[in-house]
Amino acid sequence: MALPSRPLLFASGEEAYVADQVVHTWTTPDGADPAWADEVVAALPPGERAIGALSFAAGAPGIFHQVTGSERPLHGPERSLRERTYDVREFPTAEAYADMVRAVLAKIEAGVVRKVVIGRCLDVISDPPLEPAEIIDRLLVTRPGRYVFSVPLTESLDDGPLLVGASPELLVSRHGDQIACTPLAGSVPRSSDPGEDARRAASLKASAKDLAEHAFVVDAIVHALKEVCVDVEPPTGPSLLATDTVWHLASPITARLEDPATGPSALRLAQMLHPTPAVGGVPAAAAAEAIADLEGDLRDYFAGCVGWVDGTGDGIFAITIRAAVIDGDRMRLFAGAGIVAGSDPDSEVRETGAKLATMTRVSGLS
Q: For this structure, is 169 an active site residue?
A: yes
Q: For this structure, is 233 an active site residue?
A: no
Residue 76 CB-half CA count within 13 A: 14
Phi and psi (nearest 5°) for 309?
Answer: -145, 150
* The one catalytic residue among 14, 83, 107, 115: 115
Phi and psi (nearest 5°) for 228?
Answer: -130, -5
User: How many Å apart are CA 258 and CA 243, to the nearest integer?
Assistant: 34
Sign of the dihedral through C-alpha 128, 132, 134, 138: positive
Cβ contact 359:353 at 8 Å: no
Among candidates 20, 140, 45, 65, which has minimal Cα distance to 307? 65
* The one catalytic residue among 71, 83, 155, 169: 169
Catalytic residue ranges? 115, 169
